[in-house]
Structure 1
Amino acid sequence: MYLDLINLDGINVKAGSFTYCMITYDKKNMGGKHSTIGLYRSVVVREHQIVCYSPPKSLAPEYFIEKYPVITSDIVVQEFVEGTMINAFWDTETSAWEIATRKVIGARASFSSEKQFRDMFFEALAECGLNMEETLDKNMCYSFVMQHPDNRIVTPHKKPALCLVAMYSFEDQTNIIHHDIYEQRYRIKNVRVPNIYEYNDYNQIQKIFTNASCFLMGVVIYNKTTDERMKYRNKKFETAKNIRGEKEKLKYLFHSLKREGRAEKFLEMFPEHTERFAEFNADITKAANGLFRCYLNCYVNKRQPIAAMEPETKKHLYALHQLYKTELRPNNQHVTPEIVNEYIASF
């Protein structure tokens, strides 16, 4: 019985409003118990009855892959949706739908906005035209990811939106049954579900989604039968999310975006970084001009022997001249400031 696990080390029990309790795992004391304590990512109990459950904590990729080495029809590879998790459940005592974030019953909290998650969620409901009492099954609880203009994480949103990521029901408080959200999407209109990706190789998935565009959060891989899951997080998304004005992280992101040709798109969404990006661009131009002058002095005008250069400069001069011999000269091209600029930006 799920409630029997509450006394385990690594479980937090927090009293909520009325007779609610919120049960969550203690991340610091979990150890490797993801298959037991990890079930308590966010569980709401009222008078010893589970009324709300959310998707469990993800397993470590190596453990999930060891357990499910082949991506069969039971394994779903889906979009990792950016936003804030909001769980909804029917309260039989009050005869009304109640909501909760991962740790706060009632969702009366926020990260950086003066507006509470509760208010944002109901604005998203109105935008979607979703009437919970008429549409949702009162015998189930629902996990949504909420996106809202006032709750920006990385990608800005022009209007509130909801994505349904999980549905659960309870069997005599002894079993938690998860339901297929993709079978319900046509009944719950204007609320989308995560996109499904057609991949069948873990290595390919990891390669694609851990180094994708900074606007993509990553990928979730889960077993439809057991509800066990794993995640690959996109490093660039995490960098963008955690920038918070830190110059070195922002500089790393700038170079990654510049290599991909995505810097302008990023600044459309994060105009507050325009001045910093201009500084980084100026640094590249300055370095490129200096390296180009050294190249001219060593290889074109023969005014300075390359042996006299600093080791770091010498390394780049050799690389540029190799580029000239193998790619530029065969096409009647020369080393120019623009080519040096591209070379510096490439690393």
Structure 2
Amino acid sequence: MTISALAIPVVIVAGVVAMASIFIVDEREKALVLRLGRVVDVQEEPGLGVKVPFLDNVVKYDDRILGLPTSPLEVTPLDDRRLVVDAFARWRITDPVRFRQAVGTGGIQAAQGRLEPIVNAAIREVLGSVPSTTVLSDDRTALMNQIRDEARNNSAGLGVEIIDVRLTRTDLPEQNLNATYARMRAERQREAADEIARGGEAAQRVRAAADRTVVELTSEAQKRAEIVRGEADARRNAIYADAFGRDPEFFAFTRSMTSYERALKGSNSSLVMQPDGQFFSYLSDDGSSRATPAPAPVPPRSVIEGEAETSEATGDDDLVTPTVTDREGNPLGESAGVKLTPVPESLATPPQEPSAVVTPGEGTPAPDGEEEQ
């Protein structure tokens, strides 16, 4: 009984000693075995560890990736425009011994207090070397990688590794927003005005070229129209001259009748002049005594063609081309390209007598072509 009574306390003591000399390391942790404050062992693999009971102390650190949110930081880029920057860093413990030596008993909280100034300093240094447009752009991966590398180099003595740094917010200070937005609006308005001016200039060039083309085409068309109209008028005048030149008296009579029609048009037309004036000469004398006798009537073309064939058959060649000249002796219709058709000699127009038409102001013409006494 005495041995059994003594064995139970021994077993209990042995169990307590065994429990005190064994510790468990989780897969998410790293452990340091400290003896009187000095590191005597490092347990980085998960599983059971052994220590000296009641003498060694085990300190465990989180082996996972940890986050470090930084407070809003005001930085000044290269163009002296202040920006408010929020960043977020991710880090992990890589060397538990050095980490213990650097932060002491403070652990994770002390390490974050040491890392935040390092990250802020890296942010100020990198963002201060570039203009604000680069910081405010959508693609800031290169900047964040530079901040990460700078912070990683500066935190190497803490036994930690900066895995990543992200800029979560980059804004202007509240007091500078209105001025900045106004400046941005003015810049955009200036660019819009430049674009509108360039568009207006291009439109003016196109419009001027189109107007010039219209003027050239219109001028060319008017030129051709005037040429055609002039040629037509020349032919018309030649035909009129050829027709009226055969009987100038009839031409004068026709013109007088046209003048009467135009002057006496209307229900209450009034003319104040001498009754025996030149204007009313054809109302007292129809001018038949001064007319050129009309030639003999020309038979139908079929008859003329028959006579021509007969003359050709008999060998007669009595067709002649009428010769009609103006007052200057030039053949009528020649300038307009009008050629008179040859007719038998018996049908030719007799020689014209001198015109008895008297121009206004010369007095009343004498009948039968006699000269005025």
Larger strand fraction of residues: 1
TM over 0.5: no
Larger helix fraction of residues: 2
Relative contact order, CA 8 A, sep 6+: which one is greater?
A: 1
Pick the structure with greater CA Rg. Answer: 2
- The alignment's TM-score, normalised by the length of structure 2, stands at 0.18
